[in-house]
Amino acid sequence: MKQVNAISGQDLREMFVAATGWLEKSSAEIDALNVFPVPDGDCGTNMLLTMRSTMEEAYRAPDRSVSAVSQAMAKGALMGARGNSGVILSQILRGLAQSFAEKESFTAVDLVNGLQQSVTMAYKGLSNPVEGTMLTVIKDVAAAVQAQVSSDGGDLISVMESAVNAAGESVANTPMLLQVLREAGVVDAGGQGLYVILDGALRYLRGEMEQMRFRKPQIIVSEIHATKLPQMIAADEVPYGYCTEFLLKGEKVKTDKIRSKLEKKGESLIVVGDESAVRIHIHTLDPGEVISYAASLGTLHQMSIRNMDEQHQDYLEMQKDRAPAVDMAIITVASGDGLADVFNSLGTSAIVPGGQTMNPSTKDLLQAVESVPSDKVIILPNNKNIVATANQVQSLTEKTIEVVPAETIPQGVAALLAFDYEANLSTNVQIMKKAMSGVKSIEITRATRSTKIGELKIKKKQPIGLLDGDLIATGKNNADVLDQMLAKLDLDKVEVITIYYGADTKSAEAEEISSRIREQHPQLQIEVVRGDQPHYNYIVSIE
Amino acid sequence: MAIKIVTDSLSDITSDLAKELGITVVPLYVRFGEEVYRDRVEMTTEEFYHRLVHGNVLPTTTQPPPGDFVNVYKKLAKETDEILVIVVSSKLSGTYQSALQAASMIEEKCRIEVIDSQTVAMGLGLIVISAAKAAKAGANLDELADLVRKAMPRSHLIVYFDTLKYLAKGGRIGKAKEFLGSILSFKPILTVKDGEMSPLTRVRSTAAGMNYLYNFMAGFSKIEALAVEHAATPDEADGLVERLGSLYPKEHIYRSIVSPVLGTHTGPNAIALTVLEAEKA
């Protein structure tokens, strides 16, 4: 076996050049792990840029002593440190440089001392060191290296092997130490980066430069499954699909080819491994396609397919139980899945089904009030006939109830949107009432019987239009009624029109109506939303 | 020797004002792929917003490395023996970490106090301006640090966003994530609370948003300083300043443009209003 007892400055530099190249190969995957301290997904890139700056400076060292090279590296790292991980990395290199001062080359014992100094510097660099990060990894590495040298002596290859092994184990353990990693089901990104750098250095010492060209660093997989999908928080429009994971064993498997083949099949693709075993992870809407492609390349193992929509729902349920009492809750009355979704997405705590011809009982409302984890509850009845029922609830509960007397869905939505997160209950009630009064509501439905109201003659089943509850128009079809009603309004001061189409209404008709309004009033912002409400073909909000 | 004041580019203090008040601004970095630019220095705001909206790579941002602060401290230490550093909230950026670390690396005899402002943009800027003025008037470091800490709770920043897309992508959305995932489109208004972005309310149009900002300002009885800044939407900012002019002398309103690093997270068309409330007598 090859043995190395001392490393010169030049070797130190080449070792880290190799390590930087090694890091480059996995920086994108390290980015993907990044959830702490800010889930901005750039940890790997930051570490890579820091290492590049480090190595550029290393070539400017005045001589080839390990002292000069390590000092130059520390300087380069300091000047080029990017992000938190880069900063910590620069502190680690600074520790080494301090320890290598005045030395022509370094031995295993020097390395032990250097890494101890790195740990000190890394911890010292942070006002609030957090365990389960790169800090823990470098600490574990330093301890392992010390143990190796005292038991087995001065071969630097064995020493670096112990360092890499310790780093790997430490990285795998990071989710046990840091909750945010546990929730995301990932290992610490910075720790992973450090592991890759040490691994790259070791491979250089072993003389494996040739093999490194064709391989990729191992990404350590967390044993814990995600309960939270941080990458999904931002992707509000991306459907969740299935988290599909498995191990592919075969011969001469080409990871790059698999990656390019799967890239378009979903999100969060990770393909890691070598030509005999590849771990594949992807969030896809069609796991079947991914699996049949992989099965054509070899055998599949450790298969796991999880429905992320369900996971997400479970997570939301879990959060609900765990959620501390929020100060204020809002309960709305609505019917139709679409309207329920609208209210839910705007932060309603509970929805009581009900509306025209289906008024909820006081008991229904009371149950909803008792189910929310807040002592102060605002009720939005969203129908004239439900306001009185809502007013009854206060006498039946110890919680503080306020009814914001919205009589239509548009009024309820306007009130909910205007909710002020910093204001108290009474101020909010005022704000919401004011917002409610600034909106006009149009409802289009069918006459239940023939009648005559004022000048209007109405036949049974004919489309009729109500403006804030008053019947003011009738016509041959929905579009006709809406046109008549809009003509009666002063649209100059209007900014936004929202059209909620009902369960019995085709979306194509709604789109047609909206594009006509858009043509006639190009200054308006028109939004069409699936409301699914019964009875009303259209509910239109004008604000 | 007069105390030197240092801040970072997220304070949105314009270079003219910085020069006038003797404030040193340390830039953060904005990165498109592997191209790195110094905030407000190496990339014009126009060019930046154009690339933000039309480019195919979304930018990311990063704090200044400690070395940048070391260089600034060393340079200033030749002229002073006391430096006050006031930086962006540590919950939004690692800049505080870099500034603090750099302070421990200085061998020059110079006292350096680093303060985490718990805010950003002109919320930070107005505090820095107020400190720089007091420094010119001869306050010592302890007095200044005290002044800054007392000003922090009086600095109220609210931001009208055209979209939360960029804030969500950059991972700095904080408690404002409650505003994500809505079916109905709206314009969010956020504030900074406990050092992170926090939801305030929602409006359905820019005009309603400007009304909200106007009313927010109108709610304060005594104002020490006022700032309006925008991300590539100067007309809206001018309109708001005109309206605010009925409540507060227009020429005293600080105007600025949201820096590229901050713009990476606000996206275009954001308008920010900062009220530095006067100290209660």
As for the ipTM of the complex, it is: 0.87
Q: For A341, which residue in chain B has the nearest alpha carbon?
A: B183
Which residues in chain A have Cβ-Cβ distances shorter than 8 Å to B200?
Answer: 420-422
Q: What is the pTM of this model?
A: 0.67
Q: For A231, which residue in chain B has the nearest alpha carbon?
A: B169
**Which candidate from A38, A417, A529 shows the least CB-CB separation from B172?**
A38
CATH architecture of the domain covering B154-277: 2-Layer Sandwich (3.30)
Torsion on CA atoms A228, A233, A236, A238, rounded to nearest 10 = -60
Per-residue model confidence as pLDDT tens digits over A348-407: 989 999 887 788 888 889 999 998 888 999 999 999 889 988 998 998 899 999 999 999
| Domain residue spans of chain A | 7-224, 231-313, 323-437, 440-542
Query: Is the CATH number 3.40.50 carried by domain A231-313?
Result: no
Query: Residue A325: its pLDDT value, please?
Result: 42
Query: Residue A376: its pLDDT value, please?
Result: 93
**Which candidate from B34, B168, B193 shows the least CB-CB separation from A233?**
B168
Per-residue model confidence as pLDDT tens digits over B41-77: 888 777 888 888 888 888 889 999 999 999 999 999 9
Pinpoint the residues of chain B covered by CATH 3.30.1180.10: 154-277
Pinpoint the residues of chain B covered by CATH 3.40.50.10170: 4-153
Per-residue model confidence as pLDDT tens digits over B214-255: 999 999 989 999 999 999 999 999 999 999 999 999 999 999
Which residues in chain A have Cβ-Cβ distances shorter than 8 Å to B181?
Answer: 236, 345
**Which candidate from A49, A87, A525 shows the least CB-CB separation from B66?**
A87
Query: Residue A127: its pLDDT value, please?
Result: 57
Per-residue model confidence as pLDDT tens digits over B118-140: 999 999 999 999 999 999 999 99
Q: Are B146 and B89 in contact (CB under 8 A)?
A: no
CATH no., domain B4-153? 3.40.50.10170
More confident residue, A493 or B280: A493
Q: For chain B, what is the radius of gyration of the CA atoms?
A: 18
DSSP A472: E
DSSP B108: S
CATH architecture of the domain covering A440-542: 2-Layer Sandwich (3.30)
Task: For chain A, list residues with pLDDT below 50.
Answer: 227-239, 311, 315-325
Fold annotation for A7-224: 1.25.40
Q: Which residues contact A27 (CB under 8 A, 6 or more apart)?
A: A44, A45, A47, A48, A193
Q: For B176, which residue in chain A has the nearest alpha carbon?
A: A421
Q: A204: helix, coil or strand?
A: helix
Cβ-count burial of B279 within 10 angstroms (0-12 exposed, 13-18 middle, 19+ buried)?
exposed
Is residue B169 over pLDDT 50?
yes
CATH no., domain A323-437? 3.40.50.510
- For residue B169, the cross-strand partners are none
- Find the DSSP H helices in A34-104: 43-58, 66-80, 83-99
More confident residue, B18 or A279: B18
Query: Residue A255: its pLDDT value, please?
Result: 75
Strands B155-160 and B187-193: antiparallel
Average pLDDT along chain A: 85
Query: Residue A36: its pLDDT value, please?
Result: 60
Please provide residue A249's backbone torsions phi and psi, each rounded to the nearest 5 degrees: -110, 135
Query: Residue A228: its pLDDT value, please?
Result: 42
C-beta neighbour count of A520 within 10 angstroms = 12
